[in-house]
Amino acid sequence: MEKEYFAHETAVIDEGCKIGKGTKIWHFSHIMTGSEIGENCNIGQNVVILPGVKLGNNVKVQNNVSIYTGVICDDDVFLGPSMVFTNVINPRSAIIRKDSYLETIVERGASIGANSTIVCGNIIGRYAFIGAGAVVTKDVKPYALVVGNPARQTGWMSEFGHKLIFDSAGFAFCPESNERYRIENGVVSKII
Residue range 80-116, pLDDT digits in tens: 999 999 999 999 999 999 889 999 999 999 999 999 9
pLDDT one-digit tens code per residue, 39-62: 999 999 999 999 999 999 999 999
CA 99 to chain centre: 23
Which residues pair with residue 37 across a beta bridge?
19, 55
For residue 156, the SS3 value is: strand
Asked whether the beta carbons of 149 and 155 are under 8 A apart, the reply is: no
If one looks up domain 6-89+98-164 in CATH, what number appears? Answer: 2.160.10.10
- The pLDDT of 148-177, averaged and rounded, is 98
Banded model confidence at residue 1, pLDDT cuts 50, 70, 90: low
Q: Please state, for a pLDDT cut of 70, what percent of the chain lies above it.
A: 99
For residue 145, pLDDT beyond 70: yes
For residue 39, the SS3 value is: coil
Answering whether pTM is above 0.85, one says yes
Asked whether the beta carbons of 126 and 108 are under 8 A apart, the reply is: yes
pLDDT of residue 6: 97
